[in-house]
Structure 1
Amino acid sequence: MKLIKFAKFLSVSALSAMLLTACGGESDISTKEKSDDTAQIQKEDNKKEPKVGTRSNPIKINEIASIDTVTYDEESNEYKTKVDLSVEEVVRGAEAQQKLKEMNEFNEKAPEGYEWLLVNAKVKVVESETEDYPFTIDGIMNFKFVSESGDIYSGDIIGTTDPDFSFEMYKGNEKEGYISGLVKAGEEAKMEYDSWVGNKVFFNLK
């Protein structure tokens, strides 16, 4: 299990660059010193592991992402909320298509060059500032599939799942359902969750 925290920060080098620009280039730091500092910072950054939950370091199957998000009331007031989100199982290709057919007989076959991908996911509302308004999450609105080559699939064609991953939940509640999508046949893909409040988390699907 891994805990994900999202924070925004401004590096010293970025702040220095802003001050230099604002002062028209007048600074006690010489060009040579700035170059040396930048090279050292870049060298240190290259050693850092990618942030957990990013596309280059996605959450693994059966690991839990703890995500800071918000719940809205009818007047669009925000209440801080924390949810746990995880991918439990992933099937694709002929197996996914068969499962989708069992869920709904009207689910179509994947178009040529594509295959169905079916994700079994869990979500739990761990914390919330409100007990009066439910947190909302939706497999179509909040999730996208991203190909190995960086293509964000449109999601224009989806499979009807049962249970569907579309919930309104209060604090302490946990739900499980399926998210479906089409991906290029044989190409690896990741799933992106967008909280709509700045937090995006990627999940590995293999």
Structure 2
Amino acid sequence: MAFDFNHLIELIPDINTAFLQTIYMIGISLIIAIVIGLPIGVLLYVTDKELFWENRLVQNILGFIVNMVRSIPFIILLVALIPLTKTLVGTTIGPTAASVSLSVAAIPFFARIVETALREIDKGVIEAAIAAGATPWMIIKDVLLLEAKSGIISGITLTLISLIGFSAMAGTVGGGGIGDLAIRFGYYRYDNTIMIATVVILIVLVQVIQLLGDFISKAVDKR
């Protein structure tokens, strides 16, 4: 079936619904990834050796958990988290259910990005803050996060783009969104019109997010 513009017009309500479901999924997952992943990323950094909260046990345990979750392919993670998803939201299908797996995948991903951003900070700045009598909380809040904010914003952008790809994959198991639309209409019905439309939508969405993220990252980078 060739691309049919009139057919595309007929599918606009379905495309609009799927798009909003995708935004809903990635929005919830990104917020959870930031709220949980940011502290984990900070802990991974400050508990490393020669830093003010050095604790090899905490560092190793957190690092192992983060690496373990990141090593699991997302499609397997989707299936493995079905019992947890059922417990938390009462269902295993739909965008809210898909948000559980998306969040679990995004948290360790973002945590590692935060850790990497913090490692780019000159340790001399931290030592100066300690010498000035700053508390660990003050160092984290006023030095680490402030100095790494450009890298963290770039990390949020990268996490958001990764979530878009994961959300499309969630559509294969009834997660809703653009991926679900592409599978149900494009793949199962051999509908090239909807396949092309969904691909274009995802490309445009990623480009907009990347450009916006790069702009904000450069704007806050005062180095």
TM-score by length of 1: 0.27
TM-score by length of 2: 0.26
Structure ranking higher in helix proportion: 2
Larger Rg: 1
